[in-house]
Amino acid sequence: MTLTEKIISQKVGREVHADEIVMARVDLVLANDITAPLAIKEFQKMGAKRVFDGQRIVFIPDHYTPCKDVQSAENVRLMREFAKEQDIIFYEIGRGGIEHTLLPDEGLVLPGDLVVGADSHTCTYGAITAFATGVGSTDAAFAMAFGEIWLRVPRTMRFVYKGYLRPWVGGKDLILYTIGKIGVEGARYKAMEFTGEVISRLTMADRFTMTNMAIEAGAKTGLIPFDAVTLKYIQPRAQREYKVFELGKADEIIEIDCSQIEPQVACPYSPANVKSVWELTHISINQVVIGSCTNGRLEDLREAARVLKGKKIHPNVRLIVIPATHKIWEDALRDGLLEIFSSAGAVISPPTCGPCLGGHMGVLGKGERAVATTNRNFPGRMGHRESEVYLASPAVAAASAIMGRIAHPEEVL
């Protein structure tokens, strides 16, 4: 069987194979301040009284938090009250953060789990070899009530990354290069497996970045096989037993030679519209955002600080830095990273998805351009429909903030 088939088989109670439609037991259900209110209403509409297990459900307000207006405040109030009534895990601001960084860091998601989240980037947890996928709020409501979800078992595309990484190339560049190679529908409803010698040397932060953006290739989930790096990350966090599944067969295998890959940038208006950073150094910018569930981890902030240390951002640029969780914010403070960002001229935000979805804390106006470490750059994604978002790594984003245009880190170091 494939790795995906092995995980889902355990949750169904029998051997399953690709293209079967099954009902599977879930280990965790996730919803945020946009999707949880809808799921709560559907839960109530179906006549359900109690959730299947409140300690297997997590509500995290992160999209419009700290609340930006009355509607967002009302959504979070509804979540908070329902969570208290049903004994659901709830992360308040100042103790939580961006959901897809917070959950694995808190040990709530573990290897071998089947996780459904009412957010498309739930696939992030595949970095620790969990089968994790996004669902709609109605399906989330059903899972909250019954502890099960229906799904079609996906086929598997295995990507084997060979060779070595050039300086300043990391997980963000690999996933952008891959999406550029296969397109935004290239892995539609498939499980993307990221394997090979290059992946085995990646940090957990880089791995989370890659699985996070599997959805941008149309995938059902992204998975990285369990190894010593995974174990080192999981051991201090796991508060319950978990099961490790080994890599199995694959329906399709694609090999990628990483040795010639330069830092990558996805241009408007698609994550697949990818070019080398050197092809784009003529593009001037107005804003840089470093953060999000894709690149808001401590390692990402350290990478950006390495470029920004002792420098000032361009006078025509706004730089917004968003640590992904409150703990990461505290660690960045202790490490002196926040001082580096502030001295460079950045605004440091509390953990929020805010600008990534054009919600708040960095919305773009007409004709403005941003370089962002986020995951999507569709028309209007970060604000006005005539604004532009260029997706890049923290190092490229930091270099661009200094130069006032898209730039390679080597240009400023």
What pLDDT digit, counting tens, does each position of 194-235 carry? 999 999 999 999 999 999 999 999 999 999 999 999 999 999
Burial of 281 by CB count in 10 Å (0-12 exposed, 13-18 middle, 19+ buried)?
A: middle
Determine, yes or no, domain membership for 169: no
In a domain, 227, yes or no: yes
Task: Please count the structural domains in the chain.
Answer: 2
CA torsion through residues 163, 166, 168, 174, sign: negative
Residue 348's pLDDT is what? 98
CA dist 349 → 120, 290, 316, 323, 342 (Å): 23, 10, 20, 7, 11
Position 124 in a domain:
yes
- Directed axis angle between helix 337-344 and helix 298-308, to 10°? 40
CB 2 within 8 A of CB 248: yes
- 309 and 224 in a common domain: no
User: Domain for residue 233, yes or no?
Assistant: yes
φ, ψ (nearest 5 deg) of residue 274: -105, 135
Tens of pLDDT, residues 341-368 = 999 999 999 999 999 999 999 999 999 9
- Tell which residue, 183, 205, 250, 210, has the closest CA to residue 3: 250
Domain co-membership, 303 together with 365: yes
Q: Are 290 and 397 in contact (CB under 8 A)?
A: yes
Assigned domain for 260 exists: no
- Of 176, 175, 221, residue with least CA distance to 2: 221
| pLDDT for the residue numbered 42 | 98
Domain assignment of residue 129, given as a range: 3-155+218-244
Within-domain flag for 143: yes
Instruction: Indicate the pLDDT class of residue 167, thresholds 50, 70 and 90.
Output: very high
Is the domain of 320 the same as that of 226?
no
* 143 confidence band (pLDDT: 50, 70, 90): very high
Q: Does residue 371 sit in the same domain as residue 222?
A: no
Residues 275, 236: one domain?
no
Same domain, 319 and 355: yes
Tokens of 196: 């090979």
Separation between Cα atoms, residue 387 and residue 384, nearest integer Å: 5
Residues 329 and 375 in one domain: yes
Does one domain contain both 49 and 150? yes
Same domain, 234 and 299: no
The CATH number given to whatever domain includes residue 350 is: 3.30.499.10
Mean local confidence (pLDDT), 369-383: 98
Does a structural domain hold residue 73? Answer: yes
Confidence label for 400 from pLDDT (cuts 50, 70 and 90): very high
Q: Containing H/E element for 386?
A: none
Give mean pLDDT, residues 246-255.
97
253 found inside a domain: no
pTM of the model: 0.97
Q: What pLDDT was estimated at residue 192?
A: 98
- Residue 370 one-letter amino acid: A
The SS3 assignment for 9 reads: helix
pLDDT band at residue 35 under the 50/70/90 scheme: very high
| Same domain, residue pair 83 and 232 | yes
Q: 314 and 231 share a domain?
A: no
Rounded CA gap, 98 and 298, in Å?
A: 13
Say yes or no: 230 and 336 in one domain.
no
